[in-house]
């Protein structure tokens, strides 16, 4: 953000545990093999910004949302429990009814001060989603943290942090939609939640092949001073990228083009030697691939970690269509059989940020602005990039965004060492403005 950005001043803050509004079963629920992936052992933060709505009659958004959370937890009572690791390493949710953490705060700040098109990284994110001691673990601690910060303009910021092992993005949206519906007066969610984790996704076939995440050959990034920038891809940038790909390779999606471009630019910027292997991991929402189809209301993880690889030299010396074909291959690998195999559940937790591994996740189809608690749609809704965990350190999350000029596009966060970021920006600018550009690796940084 610009250096003139005002400083947030949190004037009041309190936290409480919000249990379900009614008694819920005390029971143990198994996670699926997909939920149990070490790759998902993290808490994912989101942020949603709302304008003042005079028709709400001065109602307190913190109280409205807190009441909605308690009522929604009657249906989503596993969220009010705690994740346990048993002696045999089996993971379960103990439905204890202890509740989620809820923080109520006030800030001397107006939403207009974020500019016409607010986007992450937001100032003082750690204050907007306060890290209560003991709340950031994976096991034996709250699964959800919610903070509502009222602003001086009458608007508010809703920030959340969710244990990824309890749900994926679709599951998060389902829970938030239930909260919003109840806040507006519904007695129950329009879509009833369904657990069924161990029935639907547990791999038991020992003959299934393993796609174990192997980081032994990774090229760790020499961190030094890291820089994070947010890049916007509107219609003109996407159009320029399409000109790099001959018509015979169409159709290729916006995701294909973006991922191909970013993977190449990142590899060039980090100076990976031409003979070294580089890999792309696509986190794919595989719900549409499941056969039989998943029941409506299933909110567990249905993610595939699809990986493709090549050498840095081939990636950067070949025309862009070479990389587009690799990205398409990564997506095509995700089939119904793939989802039922052991391959997708053996993705171990990656280590340090790596020059040879780039991970991408596409949030652009998620309606993260649409949660209406009575104040209308959010001005912005999406992941709070600035405090993402290891997925952010390895790659990028794509989020839909409308610029201050009214252009619809995608914002992508990139984090690199400062020197690499300069070269990345130059490569990216060239690729999105000059259709004849071809990148070559000439020397390491």
| Residues with active-site annotation | 164, 372
Check residue 341 and give left, alpha or beta (phi > 0: left; psi -120 to 50: alpha): beta
3-class SS at 97? coil
Judge contact between 24 and 98, C-beta under 8 A. no
Question: Both tokens of residue 144?
Answer: 């959800």
Checking DSSP bridges between strand 357-362 and strand 395-402, what pairing results, if any? parallel
C-alpha to C-alpha distance for 414 and 392, rounded to whole angstroms? 8
Burial category of 229 from C-beta neighbours within 10 Å (exposed 0-12, middle 13-18, buried 19 and up): middle
Residue with tokens 């959370």: 69
Bridge partners, residue 346, by sequence? none
Residue with tokens 């949603």: 48
Judge contact between 408 and 386, C-beta under 8 A. no
Whether the link from the prior residue into 292 is cis, omega within 30° of 0, is: yes
37 alpha-carbon distance from chain centroid: 16
- Alpha helix (H) residue ranges in 270-348: 312-317, 320-332, 336-340
C-alpha to C-alpha distance for 384 and 27, rounded to whole angstroms? 33
Checking DSSP bridges between strand 395-402 and strand 380-383, what pairing results, if any? unpaired
């Amino acid at each position: 953000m610009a250096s003139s950005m005002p400083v947030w001043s949190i004037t009041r803050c309190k936290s409480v545990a919000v249990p379900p509004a009614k008694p819920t079963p005390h029971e143990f629920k198994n996670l699926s093999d997909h939920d149990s992936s070490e790759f998902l052992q993290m808490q994912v933060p989101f942020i949603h910004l709302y304008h003042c709505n005079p028709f709400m009659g001065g109602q307190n958004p913190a109280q409205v949302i807190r009441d909605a959370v308690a009522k929604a937890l009657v249906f989503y009572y596993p969220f009010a429990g705690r994740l346990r690791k048993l002696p045999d390493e089996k993971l379960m949710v103990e439905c204890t009814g202890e509740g989620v953490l809820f923080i109520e705060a006030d800030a001397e700040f107006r939403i207009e001060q974020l500019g016409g098109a607010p986007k992450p990284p937001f100032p003082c994110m750690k204050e907007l989603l306060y890290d209560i001691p003991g709340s950031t673990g994976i096991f034996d601690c709250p699964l959800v943290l919610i903070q509502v910060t009222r602003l001086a303009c009458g608007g508010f910021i809703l920030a959340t942090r969710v244990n990824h092992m309890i749900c994926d993005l679709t599951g998060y949206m389902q829970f938030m939609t239930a909260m919003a519906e109840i806040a507006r007066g519904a007695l129950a969610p329009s879509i009833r939640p369904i657990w069924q984790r161990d029935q639907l996704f547990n791999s038991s076939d020992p003959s299934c092949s393993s796609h174990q995440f192997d980081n032994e050959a990774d090229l760790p990034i020499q961190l030094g001073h890291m820089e994070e920038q947010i890049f916007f891809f509107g219609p003109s940038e996407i159009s320029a990228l399409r000109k790099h790909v001959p018509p015979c390779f169409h159709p290729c999606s916006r995701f294909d083009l973006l991922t191909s471009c970013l993977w190449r630019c990142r590899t060039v910027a980090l100076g990976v030697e031409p003979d070294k292997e580089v890999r792309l991991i696509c986190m794919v929402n595989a719900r549409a691939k499941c056969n039989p189809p998943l029941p409506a209301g299933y909110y567990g993880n249905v993610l595939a970690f699809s990986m493709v690889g090549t050498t840095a030299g081939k990636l950067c010396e070949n025309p862009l269509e070479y990389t587009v074909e690799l990205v398409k291959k990564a997506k095509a690998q995700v089939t119904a059989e793939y989802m039922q195999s052991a391959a997708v559940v053996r993705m171990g937790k990656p280590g340090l940020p790596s020059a040879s591994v780039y991970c991408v996740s596409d949030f652009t189809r998620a309606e993260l602005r649409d949660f209406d608690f009575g104040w209308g749609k959010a001005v912005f809704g999406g992941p709070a990039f600035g405090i993402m965990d290891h997925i952010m350190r390895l790659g990028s999350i794509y989020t839909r965004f409308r610029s201050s000029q009214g252009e619809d596009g995608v914002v992508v966060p990139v984090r690199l060492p400062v020197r690499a970021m300069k070269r990345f920006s130059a490569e990216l600018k060239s690729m999105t403005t000059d259709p004849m550009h071809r990148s070559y690796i000439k020397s390491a940084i």
